[in-house]
Amino acid sequence: MSLYSLIRRIGSSGFGYGSTAEEVSAGLDLTGKCILVTGGNSGIGRKTVRVLTMRGATVLTTARSESKARIARRRFGKRAIPLICELSDPNSIQACVDNIKAGGHKLDAIIANAGVMAIPECETVHGYERHFFTNHLGHFMLVTGLLDLLKDDGRVVMVSSSAHKRAPKDGIQFARLDGEGWYGPWEAYGHSKLANLLFAKELAKRFAGTKRVAVAVHPGVIRTNLIRHMKWWVKPMMVLMSALVLKSVSEGAATQVYAAVHPDGAGFNGEYLKDCKITQPSDNACDPAMAERLWVESERIAAQFE
């Protein structure tokens, strides 16, 4: 816990900046629940898997290699079911969907947590900018591929970021999804996180009138492996900042755990949460036309790989 979290906790009521994943799930018995967490081998995803299994849930936890996936089983025991899912590879995503279907699982929640940040130079996969493909398109294919398995009151939690505000000013770059002409490490990360938010908004619209819920969350700023692509001096700086102001990993996992399993979460369809509270995203993230267009375009791209 940083000094700042400690100060924020004093006098606060309910859940907030300094709440941990353990606290927001305290007293919940998740026995019989089945939850999918992507990127469960590292950072806040790993903590999310730990806490959900501790509360009794079965957690399908993805990693991008077999060795990383197997670690989950060793760490969290039989309640963690390891799966392989490389989000930049449509074949791997489809295999993951098929494995989950073959396992006969019904899903209470999907936490789309995996992500990559601030790659220094523009890279493309299958012709699309890498952050956009991994963080958005990969999750789009995975989540839409699994909607049949989502329970009637199931929840989809998209792990976005306040960095969605760093996306290009006019939002999703539909004409230049390869990053050409606008790429910057933070613009591209923000663009993909805006896409996560718009996907949650459009999914929520499609869930309207049901008990299903789609939300997006900002976990806070936490020192994790996410900074792997950043300059060498960022690491020591993050150690210092972590002690002073950043969230701990458990505090970082709190909002997605809260959104996925807390009874309050049933009322959050279409919302964007930060510190376990509803907050306002950017104007672009609230643009229904952009959300709908992104869905249509993502469907079109996904169809190319079928």
Ligand X SMILES: NC(=O)c1ccc[n+]([C@@H]2O[C@H](COP(=O)([O-])OP(=O)(O)OC[C@H]3O[C@@H](n4cnc5c(N)ncnc54)[C@H](OP(=O)(O)O)[C@@H]3O)[C@@H](O)[C@H]2O)c1
State the SS3 of the chain.
CCHHHHHHHCCCCCCCCCCCHHHHCCCCCCCCCEEEECCCCCHHHHHHHHHHHHCCCEEEEEECCHHHHHHHHHHHHHHEEEEECCCCCHHHHHHHHHHHHHCCCCEEEEEECCCCCCCCCCCEECCEEHHHHHHHHHHHHHHHHHHHHEEEEEEEEEECCHHHHHCCCCCCCHHHCCCCCCCCHHHHHHHHHHHHHHHHHHHHHHHCCCCCEEEEEECCCECCHHHHHCCCCHHHHHHHHHHHCCECHHHHHHHHHHHHHCHHHHHCCCCEEECCEEECCCCHHHCHHHHHHHHHHHHHHHHCCC
Site for ligand X contains 113 (CB under 6 A): yes
- Of 123 and 292, the one with the shorter C-beta distance to ligand X is 123
Which range binds ligand X by CB under 6 A, 17-25, 61-69, 140-148, 233-241?
61-69
Under rule CB under 6 A, how many of the chain's residues touch ligand X?
28
* Residue 229 in tokens: 């692509």
Residue 41 CB, shortest distance to ligand X, in Å, is 5
Binding ligand X (rule: CB under 6 A), the pick from 43, 179, 270, 281 is 43
- Of 162 and 286, the one with the shorter C-beta distance to ligand X is 162
- Given a contact cutoff of 8 angstroms between Cβ atoms, the answer to whether 192 and 134 are in contact is yes
Binding ligand X (rule: CB under 6 A), the pick from 9, 68, 126, 205 is 68
Residue nearest to ligand X (CB): 43
**Contact pattern from residue 179 through residue 218 relative to ligand X, giving x for each residue in contact according to CB under 6 A and a dash for the rest:** ---------------------------------------x
Binding ligand X (rule: CB under 6 A), the pick from 219, 265, 270, 281 is 219
Site for ligand X contains 222 (CB under 6 A): yes
- Of 289 and 298, the one with the shorter C-beta distance to ligand X is 298
Q: Which of 140, 200, 128, 139 is nearest to 164 (CA)?
A: 200
Site for ligand X contains 284 (CB under 6 A): no
Which range binds ligand X by CB under 6 A, 41-49, 103-111, 267-275, 283-291?
41-49
Site for ligand X contains 129 (CB under 6 A): no
Q: Is 183 labeled as catalytic in the residue annotation?
A: yes
- Of 23 and 251, the one with the shorter C-beta distance to ligand X is 251
Site for ligand X contains 224 (CB under 6 A): yes
* Residue 23 in tokens: 């606290």
CA dihedral sign, ordered 295, 280, 192, 34: negative
Residue 31 CB, shortest distance to ligand X, in Å, is 26
Given the residues 183, 189, 258, 272, the one annotated as active site: 183
* Residue 147 in tokens: 């909607």
**Contact pattern from residue 130 through residue 169 relative to ligand X, giving x for each residue in contact according to CB under 6 A and a dash for the rest:** ----x------------------------x-x--------
Q: Which residues bind ligand X (CB under 6 A)?
A: 39, 41-45, 63-64, 68, 85-88, 113-117, 134, 159, 161, 218-219, 221-222, 224-226
The set of catalytic residues is 183
